[in-house]
Structure 1
Amino acid sequence: MTNTIEPFALPAQGEQKRTCMQDIVSRLEQQLSQDISRIHQPDSNSAARHAAQRLQAVAEHAPAFLAVLAEPWLDCPVSERTEQLLLDCARIHLYARILDDALDEGLTVCRQNLLRAQPMFWQTVQRIGARVPTRVAQEAEQLIQETVSAVLHDDLRGDPQYWGPKNHHLLLVPLLLSENSAAYQACRSGLSNLIALVQAGDEWKQGVLTDVSLRAELLDFVTQCLDPEQLATLSRLGWQGAAERIVWNADQLISVLSEPSCV
């Protein structure tokens, strides 16, 4: 039987907090779907359908992951500031997918989507810039620089060490919500590892994990992600769901990589 790495789900929480997180996720899904409908023009050809499916996957799966990254701020009632920053970060992630598709897919529809996404992107960046102090903005710029650098390195040679950093735009969520707090800095590596493990699941589903040396590197990286002190820090500072998901994803990956078909 083949193990599967499932779409990201919300962590187990108290009933009130879980309901609150689910409400946020539902609103983000709805808003992203509306954004996509303004950016992507439906067409019956296969290229347009493929592009639409990739964008809709962001609306369906990203909000739950973003909610886990924002877990310390999602106690009811969730503030207007928190909800707006989450939406802004969700739109940045949607834009990252649109940009990625325009670069990688080689389709006219993807390039057109990139053009139509510009107003949403610039409005979002301006809104974030108006809300955060300079020191936080500088750290946000660093995350984007890390994202770009890691993507360029990973394009040359797939390496699990880059799978977290190449998605570091997702760390805008805890960075902006915490205003670069000591708690965020203490948990930054652990949250990056969570992102990397989720990316590893995607790489497996895409059939990338066939190279023996790459599998060995990934197993070594997964072991590093299970550092007990790092997991304890995440749980203690409010990211219990992230810590639980690291353990779950690591277990799934170890099982997948241990199957005879992967040897």
Structure 2
Amino acid sequence: MAHAQDHSPHSQTTALNLGKDTVMKQAKQAVEIPRVVVTQIDQRRLRYYATKRCIDIVLSCAALVLLSPVLVVIALAIKLDSPGPVIFAHERVGARLRRRGSTGAWEIRPFRFYKFRSMVHNADESLHRAHIAAYANGQVRRGPGKGGFKLTGDPRVTRVGRFLRATSLDELPQLVNVLKGDMSLVGPRPVPTYEVEHYEPWHFERLAALPGITGLWQVTGRCALTFDEMIALDLEYVRNQSTALDLKILARTVPAVLRGTGAG
């Protein structure tokens, strides 16, 4: 598992020595510059990664085929509702595993993250940046209808966008990210580079895994979580990930979306 210098009460390991400025530079500079998180890899872990990749490919391909009529309807609804592209692409911080003998190196790298556009075209990003800064610093009220991680009452969101976010249908294009290998079906939430600016040293271990469409915190009442609690759940997943845990999270995702705790 990934080992990090961890100052949290949830700490179990030590070894990730990436500072805040280093990670931000890694997210913005070219991939070939060495920027890694070292992890221990045994045969069980290798089998898990291989199985996880097979599941990702099979399920994401099946979902894209089965949901193709839904994707077309959503695309038409977005175009009819507001001017602008159907797909919203944004830079997120991800990782790619490189094996080195009995160890592995997770290269911290940016990737293009896809969603159905749910906001007006060319929406001002500063509103979300300010919200993330406030959330990370514990200045956002939490709970159902009180914000938390998601910015509520966002004036940039379109009529169709509100529905897509409430049902998590805006996330479907990330199946393409899964096929490309930038993401997995299950993993830590893919974060924008400006969120990493607010990380504490113990937060960085959550980057030592492929980001996921869904994850442990998404199915665990995320509206009631603080920023540190959200990070802690991602760390719990990174340290304990397994095929059984992935399947359990996938099974819990649909009920979470229907309840509204996993939406958007």
Same fold per superposition (TM over 0.5) = no
Which structure has greater helix proportion?
Answer: 1
Normalising by structure 2, what TM-score?
0.26
Normalising by structure 1, what TM-score?
0.26
Pick 1 or 2: higher relative contact order, CA cutoff 8 A, min separation 6.
2
Which structure has greater strand proportion?
Answer: 2
